[in-house]
Structure 1
Amino acid sequence: MNTTPALLDLEDRLDAAPSLPAVGSRFGDALREILNDDGAFDRHQEANLRPEVIEALESKISDAGVKFIYYMIPTLGGRTIAKVVPAEHVARNLRKGIAFHRTALTDLQTNRGGQLIGGGVAAQEFWALPEPDTFNVLPWDTDVARMFCTAYEPPHLEGVGGRLMEYDVRALFQRAHAAFTERTGLELRSGLEPEMTWAGPGMEVKTKDGQSPAYQVENLERMRPVYKKVIDYAQKLGFDMIEGDYEDNGQLELNWNYDNADRSTERLTVYRQICKQVARELGLEASFMPKPYNGKMGNGCHHNLSLWRGDENVIEDGSVQLHVTETAKHAIAGMLVHSPGSMLIMGSTVNSYKRFWDIGQFAPSGADWGLDTRGVAIRISSNGRMEYRLPDASVNPYLSHLYLLASIEDGLDRRLDPGSPESPSAELMDTQLPRTLGEAIDAFRADEYLMNAMPAGLTKIYLELKEDEWARYCGTISQWEFDQYWEAIP
């Protein structure tokens, strides 16, 4: 891999290449090299079959009394697929993996013509090798454990056998992050703020006109059975839970501490599973729908980002006054320049864009930034932290972090300037965010740098999924249309 030594100082690196072109990136070249590695499966399998690995995993299974194991992979749409296997077969699964139909990674979604997107009925299987270090016992049923897996092309396939599957977004982000660190010496850390809506008996709230139910202790008490179970399960699965609050009707946000972005992305996947389990236990519904109600706040998932070299946060310089460093400015500019092109990732559903049409609900509407103001795309709420506010609660965290990482690297490489909060730079002056899924599809296609940075197959399938979703929406007659037009035209 053609990389810059990890210990090279960031500012020296930036000074050495102040005018790198936006199109044609080391980020994309590195991803393509990763995906062309024919030996990836064999190395993973070899690591799994080390005697000490098998012995340690079998000991964990025996000590916990685990009888079943879920072998799981997040999909392109941010869901999770799995197979369940009796625990006594773990050594076999470490060697052979688990076979899935190829279109499982594209959520087994058909297009409007009824054809499976991502390969069709005749598509070949992929093999998923488990990662023993992700083994966890489910706290709500200790008979069951789970492990995340990495998806590979089966070794027997001519030309591609043994390679990482380009639709495995979890593995893709983790490897892209490792390559980014090798090139720059920097690690991306993130803290996520997943908002969500709970509905069902006891969740109803009444307020007087114009008053928000946010922060009221009575509403936290209403949610006590929910947050107690969610926090308990999360802590048992290794989360460092730090705070939570009630924000709008049925809307609860519970946060955990920031960490390496590889772990933060995985925790959001697990957090969603925890919430769905708690909802089943309490007879409630738990929804990550971005905008469930008009006139109420939508469900966002703000990404709080920082860049670290070892124990040093390189976007923090010790100053007390709220500000941004030069390194932070370059990163911010990269994220904002590519915010239109990445909106299809940050707002991945038709419903996502309803957040931006409802006035006064704290959702950002422009490609802008500011110091401790909630109406912008990137908020600097404290020194050393960049709060990226565009993603909503349905976001695929692996894809959002992948696209943010590529955007940050472009900003650092080209020393992009975001301007000031009051006066955006020339690069950002005319930048407009998409306001519908259809506009986001167009902006996604138009960002030449991001299109080049990401694997072509991943981009093609993601576009096919989103174009089909937009077409289904455009072809569906809504109640609003009946109300507006049924009697309106004599």
Structure 2
Amino acid sequence: MSTTDLDQHREENSRAGALDHVKAALAESGVENIYYQTVTITGRVVGKVVPASHVDRLAVRGVQQHRTAISNLQADRAGNLMGGGADAAEYTAVPDLDSFDVLPWDTSLGRFYCRLYEPDHVAGIGGTALATDTRGVFKRMHAEFTARTGLELRTGTEPEMTWEGPGRQAVFRPDSSPAYHIEHLEKNRDIYQRVIRYATALGLDMIEGDYEDSGQIELNWMFDTAELTADRLVTYRQICKQVARELGIEASFMPKPAAGMMGNGCHHNWSLWRGDVNILENPGVTELHLSDEGKHALGGLLTHSAGAMLAMGPTVNSYKRYWDAGQFAPSQINWGLDNKTCTVRLSANGRLEYKLPDASVNPYLTHAVILASIDEGLKNQIDPGAPQVGSSYGTEGQHQFDALPLTLGEAITAFDQDSYLKESLGRELADLYLEYKADEWARYCGAVTDWERRTYWDDLP
């Protein structure tokens, strides 16, 4: 009888000493309950809470959830649950033991990240990895990429977010910005101090942050392997929501909270490493540059950026960033040397900044799409073209790459037409994501907005 993916994970968790570090942490901190959590296709955290006394059993057995939890138990407009229907089999969620942490805001709680599998009893596919588990999909993609190429994707993200509550809005002179203003950081010291304290306790190496717009704060942590960066972004969002609860205010990663405000982006900075060597660099060259391999990887990313936009800008609201003038969002698919108007900015030797992702993304999905695009660029030595010189705004551009989708509807079409990205993610995940987002777009298209009421209610005769 062949060994399944689920069998292998269970064997890994049941080996001698595998749980020692978890049990030591449980005893030291007095953990009473543990969250067994995973991340849905849209980036929502779901799971179960279980008394810590069951950790030995569930480290091997895992927990069960209804299959459609992976798509937020969302029904389409016809009332059908997406991702399997009400009668679908549950999936099995098995914890990654190295992901265990004690939650610093309440040390009686711990948490695991889990990977998902088809349950043992399902004929033909029992025990196989769940095809719609974005975290599991990306981990497998990266492992295969590294085994084949010897390369590792390392990333860092820049999540911006908006905080709202009494005294949190900035006051500043007209036609200027409160960005970088220490006075506004001081007004929000209780926010950033608590976020940094909790994040540090959960393994994020916090490095810098600033105030960017009214209520908007960006706090960053050190780059690392892409899997850890994705986990940490999810953890960071949970931390921010907890801090908001404690302070009696609101925290949101909505991409565009209001017209005229800066959008909440989440730029992904990436590099490729072979051992201790960053292959995007040319040793000994000091001026801003990109190696040939780096250019090929970049060429792949730009080639698939139109199709990737459904992951990078995953909501109707995401595209409001691109329609509000002067907001530093890209307007075309291109790249430049330290050029903030481009889709990809070579911000330092060996590091490329991808500016399409916003703060609402599923980071496993964005990283999977980035990795797949880079991989094709390397395989086919895709040329990214010459870097953009000067501002991208108001220029025609190179037209080397497809146009940047400017609505969720356009992004759905672009993703659906990119067969390479869909095959890279796997048809089941790609189809479910398309179904979910097409339903979201249809709901928006059928909604009557305040703008329509103001514009048309008294327009005639």
Range into which the TM-score falls when normalised by the shorter chain:
over 0.9
Q: For residues 99-153 of structure 1, what are the alpha-carbon distances to aligned partners after superposition, in whole Å with 9 as ceiling and x for unaligned?
A: 0000011111111112111111111111111111111000000000001111110
Q: For residues 25-56 of structure 1, what are the alpha-carbon distances to aligned partners after superposition, in whole Å with 9 as ceiling and x for unaligned?
A: xxxxxxxxxxxx96110111111112312344
**Is 1:352 the equivalent of 2:318?**
yes
Cα deviation, residue 167, structure 1: 1.2
* Separation in structure 2 between the aligned mates of residue 396 and residue 321 of structure 1, nearest angstrom: 35
Letter in 1 for 2:179: A
**Is 1:465 the equivalent of 2:431?**
no
Match of 2:408 among 437, 460, 477: 437
* Separation in structure 1 between the aligned mates of residue 105 and residue 154 of structure 2, nearest angstrom: 29
**Which residue number in structure 1 is paired with residue 449 of structure 2?**
478
Please give the residue correspondences for 1:299-378 in structure 2 after superposition, counting only pairs within 5 Å. 299-318=264-283, 319-378=285-344
**Over aligned residue pairs, what C-alpha RMSD do you find?**
1.4
Match of 1:260 among 225, 231, 234: 225
**Which residue number in structure 2 is paired with residue 78 of structure 1?**
43
Contact 1:336 1:428 in 2 (8 A): no
What SS is found at the alignment partner of 1:127? strand
Cα deviation, residue 363, structure 1: 0.5
Match of 2:70 among 96, 105, 111: 105
Distance of aligned partners of 1:343 and 1:483 in 2 relative to their CA distance in 1, 3 Å threshold: same
**Which residue number in structure 2 is paired with residue 402 of structure 1?**
368
**Which residue number in structure 2 is paired with residue 139 of structure 1?**
104
Cα deviation, residue 453, structure 1: 2.0
**Is 1:151 the equivalent of 2:116?**
yes
Tell me the TM-score normalized by structure 1: 0.91
Letter in 1 for 2:293: T
Letter in 1 for 2:64: A
Q: Which runs of 4+ in 1 moved over 3 A?
A: none
Cα deviation, residue 430, structure 1: 4.9
**Which residue number in structure 2 is paired with residue 295 of structure 1?**
260
Match of 1:455 among 423, 426, 431: 426
Q: For residues 255-295 of structure 1, what are the alpha-carbon distances to aligned partners after superposition, in whole Å with 9 as ceiling and x for unaligned?
A: 00000101100000000000000000001100000011111
Tell me whether 212-221 or 314-323 shows the greater mean CA deviation: 314-323
Q: For residues 405-452 of structure 1, what are the alpha-carbon distances to aligned partners after superposition, in whole Å with 9 as ceiling and x for unaligned?
A: 00001111111111112489x995252011000000110111122122
Q: Which has the higher contact order (CA 8 A, sep 6+)?
A: 1
What SS is found at the alignment partner of 1:59? helix
Letter in 2 for 1:400: T
Letter in 1 for 2:321: R
Structure 2: where are the runs of 5+ without partners? none
Percent of paired sites with the same residue: 54
* Separation in structure 2 between the aligned mates of residue 156 and residue 341 of structure 1, nearest angstrom: 37
Contact 1:68 1:87 in 2 (8 A): yes
What SS is found at the alignment partner of 2:403? coil
* Separation in structure 2 between the aligned mates of residue 217 and residue 422 of structure 1, nearest angstrom: 33
Contact 1:203 1:250 in 2 (8 A): yes
Tell me the TM-score normalized by structure 2: 0.96
What SS is found at the alignment partner of 2:299? helix
**Which residue number in structure 2 is paired with residue 228 of structure 1?**
193
Distance of aligned partners of 1:257 and 1:83 in 2 relative to their CA distance in 1, 3 Å threshold: same
Structure 1: where are the runs of 5+ without partners? 1-36
* Separation in structure 2 between the aligned mates of residue 186 and residue 428 of structure 1, nearest angstrom: 31
* Separation in structure 1 between the aligned mates of residue 419 and residue 7 of structure 2, nearest angstrom: 34
Contact 1:103 1:120 in 2 (8 A): yes
What SS is found at the alignment partner of 1:252? strand
What SS is found at the alignment partner of 1:381? strand
Contact 1:337 1:427 in 2 (8 A): no
Contact 1:38 1:163 in 2 (8 A): no
Please give the residue correspondences for 1:165-314 in structure 2 after superposition, counting only pairs within 5 Å. 165-314=130-279
Cα deviation, residue 183, structure 1: 0.9
What SS is found at the alignment partner of 1:53? coil
What SS is found at the alignment partner of 2:91? strand
What SS is found at the alignment partner of 1:51? coil
Contact 1:131 1:147 in 2 (8 A): yes
Q: For residues 55-97 of structure 1, what are the alpha-carbon distances to aligned partners after superposition, in whole Å with 9 as ceiling and x for unaligned?
A: 4432321122110000000111101101000000111111211
Contact 1:417 1:427 in 2 (8 A): no
Contact 2:302 2:401 in 1 (8 A): no
* Separation in structure 2 between the aligned mates of residue 217 and residue 43 of structure 1, nearest angstrom: 51
What SS is found at the alignment partner of 1:379? strand
**Which residue number in structure 2 is paired with residue 26 of structure 1?**
none
* Separation in structure 2 between the aligned mates of residue 457 and residue 100 of structure 1, nearest angstrom: 18
* Separation in structure 2 between the aligned mates of residue 430 and residue 456 of structure 1, nearest angstrom: 24
Contact 2:40 2:70 in 1 (8 A): yes
What SS is found at the alignment partner of 2:365? helix
What SS is found at the alignment partner of 1:71? strand
* Separation in structure 2 between the aligned mates of residue 145 and residue 407 of structure 1, nearest angstrom: 36
Q: For residues 175-199 of structure 1, what are the alpha-carbon distances to aligned partners after superposition, in whole Å with 9 as ceiling and x for unaligned?
A: 1101000111100000100000000
